[in-house]
Amino acid sequence: MTRDAVLVRKGVYHDSVTLMRVSRSLSDLPGMQVAIVAMATELNLGLARDLGFDLPPADPGDLLVALRGDGVEAAAGELDQALALLSASRTQAAADQPPLTTRSAARTPADLVLVSVPGEHAFCEAFDAIHAGLPVMIFSDGVPVAQERRLKLLAEERDVLVMGPDCGTAVIAGAGLGFANVLRPGPVGVVAASGTGAQQVTCLLDQAGAGMSHVLGVGGRDLSAEVGGLSTMRALRMLDDDPATELIVLVSKPPDPAVARAVRDVVETMRTPVVSALLGERDLTSAAEEALRALGRPVPAWESWPGWSPTSTYTKLKGIYSGGTLCAEASLIAGTGEFTDYGDDAYTRGRAHPMIDPTLRLEALAQVEPGDVILMDVVLGHGADPDPAASLASAIAHVTTHHTPSHGAATVVVALIGTEGDPQGLHRQAAAFREAGATVFTSNAQAARHARNLL
C-alpha cells in the first residue's frame, strides 16, 4: 500500500551531493516512488509541498526526509543506517578539530581556499580568503556579478588569483579541484572561462599525448563587460611566469569585444605563445589541434565508436547537455535544433549538477519521439557521476530500440569527454554507450557535425 512518511531532524547538516546520493539509493528501493533527503531550505520545502507532502515546521538548518511508496518502512531503515554512517564520519572529522571559519583556516599553512557554499554566502568566505592573501576557487554559483567584480578588484590589490564564481574545474600542478579529469603532466597551461570547455580541450590533448601544467578556471562571466577579464589577465600572466608552461590555451565563450581587446594587449606582452579557443571563432577541437601543431606534435584521428546504423529519416535535432560551453558549441555547429543546457543555474538551483545527477536528462530521454536525433554530452572525471553509463545507457537503449521501423526510430549521439585515467574509464564507458546503440565521439564538435548530417 502506497503511503507517505515525513520526518525532520533538527540541526542535522550534510552537504547536498551527499544527500542527493542517499536520495538516489532510496529511490532505487523496490516500491519507492518518491524519496527526498535534503536540507529544509525554502526551495526544498516548496518542492516537497508541490509533490503533495504534508510538512511539519522546519528551518534551513534541519534535515528533511520525505518518502512515498510501498516500501516506506524498509526505506526508513535504510535511511537510519545511512545517516548513522554520515554522523559517524562527521564525528570523526570533528575530532580532528578543523578550523571553524575561513578566516581561521587562512592562518594555517594553506596555499589555496576552495569555497563551495550557497551563492548568497560565498562572498564573505571568499573575501576573508583574499584579504588573507590567499588565492581562492569559488565553486559556488549564484553569486551576484557586482560581488564578483569587487572580489576580483580586491584580488588585484592583494596580488592573488580568484577562480570563479561558478568555477567548476581547475587543476593545479596535477591536483584536480571540482570536476577534474586525470591528466598527464606536461607543458600546456589552460586559462578557461568555461569548465567543460577546458575539460574538452585538455582531454583531447591528453589523448594526443600532450600533458598539462595547470588548468586555471576563471568563471564563465570573467570576460564579460561587467567583470572586465580581471582573472583571465592575471591567470595569463601567472602562466607566463611559470617555467613548466610552454604553451597556453585560452578557452571561453564569446567575450565582450572591449575585454577581448584588453586580453589581446596582455597576450602581446607575453613570452609564452597563446592559442585562442573562443567559441564563435573556432570550435574546441580545432583549437586543440592548433595547440598540438604549435607543440610540434602530430594531430591524431580523434577516437570514436559507431553505434546503431540509422535507416530512418530524421527530422529533428535535440541537444540535452550538462556542459554549457559544450552545449553552445554544438548549437553553433549544428545550426538547427533545440538545445538545453541542464547545467544552467535555472536547472541546478536546489539540486545537484547533471554531471552528478542524471534525473533531468533521463526525463528528457523519456520524451524522445520517432525521428529525433539526440545529441548529448557525458563528462567523466573526479566529482562527476562515478558510472554515468549505469544511469544513462538503459534509457539510451530504449530510445534506439523501442521504435519499430513502421513507426520510425530515434538515434543518440554521445560526446564522451574524459581520459582513460579517469575513474570511470573512457573506453569502458564508450563500450557501454555503444552497446546501448549510441554513436560515441571524444570530440564534441565531431559529434555535433555527425548529428547534423543525420538530418
Alpha-carbon distance of 190 to 284, in angstroms, equals: 13
Give the C-alpha separation, 306 to 309, whole Å. Answer: 8
Q: Single out the residue in 66, 95, 124 at which a domain terminates.
A: 95
Mean of per-residue pLDDT scores for the chain: 89
Alpha helical stretches, state H, 28-144: 42-50, 72-95, 102-105, 119-131
Residue 196 confidence class, pLDDT cut points 50, 70, 90: very high
Beta strands at 316-321 and 372-379: parallel, antiparallel or unpaired:
parallel
Residue-level pLDDT at 72: 75
Identify whether residues 79 and 219 lie together within a single domain: no
Q: What is the CATH number of the domain that holds 252?
A: 3.40.50.261
Is residue 268 domain-shared with residue 121, that is, in the same domain? yes
What pLDDT sits at residue 249? 98
Residue where a domain stops, chosen among 45, 79, 95: 95
Q: Are 164 and 219 in contact (CB under 8 A)?
A: yes
Tell me how far apart the alpha carbons of residues 49 and 355 are, in angstroms, rounded to a whole number.
26
Instruction: Tell me: do 90 and 226 sit in the same domain.
Output: no
pLDDT digits (tens, 9 = 90+) for 329-359: 999 999 999 999 999 878 877 677 899 889 8
- Claim to verify: residue 81 and residue 146 sit in the same structural domain: no
How many domains are contained in the chain? 3
Domain residue limits at 57: 3-95
- pLDDT band for position 406 (cuts 50, 70, 90): very low
C-alpha cell at 381: 572525471
Q: Count of CB atoms within 10 A of residue 336's CB?
A: 10
Least Cα distance to 253 among 214, 285, 221, 291 occurs for: 221
CA dist 359 and 195 (Å) reads 21
Taking the C-alpha atoms of residue 429 and residue 425, their distance in angstroms, rounded to an integer, is: 6
Q: Is 49 helix (H, G, I), strand (E, B) or coil?
A: helix
Residue 299 forms part of a structural domain: no
Nearest to 66 by CA among 55, 77, 50: 55
CA–CA dist 349, 103 (Å, integer): 27
Distance CA 249, CA 288 (A): 8
pLDDT for 330 equals 97
Residues 263 and 346 in one domain: no
- For residues 125 and 254, state if they share a domain: yes
Q: Are residues 140 and 248 in the same domain?
A: yes
Same domain, 129 and 66: no
Q: For residue 2, what is the enclosing H or E element?
A: none
Under 8 Å between Cβ of 414 and 408: no
Considering 156-165, 304-313, 350-359, the range whose residues carry the highest mean pLDDT is 156-165
Q: What is the pLDDT of residue 436?
A: 94
* Residue at 321 is within a domain: yes
The fraction of the chain above a pLDDT of 70, given in percent, is 93
Q: Which parts of 169-312 fold into alpha helices (H)?
A: 195-207, 230-240, 257-268, 284-294
Please state the rounded mean pLDDT for residues 268-291: 96
pTM of the model: 0.85
Whole-number pLDDT of residue 138: 96
Structural domain includes residue 337: yes
Residue 32 shares a structural domain with residue 47: yes
Q: Name, in order, each residue with C-beta under 8 angstroms of 341's C-beta and a sequence gap of 6 or more.
A: 321, 322, 323, 324, 327, 328, 347
Classify each residue of 367-378 as buried b or exposed e, where b means 16 or more C-beta atoms within 10 Å of its C-beta: ebebbbbbbbbb
Binning the chain into helix, strand and coil, the percentages to the nearest 5 are: 40, 20, 40
- Evaluate whether residue 120 is within a structural domain: yes
Span 110-126, pLDDT tens digits:
789 999 888 888 999 99
Report residue 87's pLDDT band, with 50, 70 and 90 as the boundaries.
Answer: low
Q: What are the beta bridge partners of residue 216?
A: 191
At 384, is the pLDDT very low, low, confident or very high (cuts 50, 70, 90)?
very high
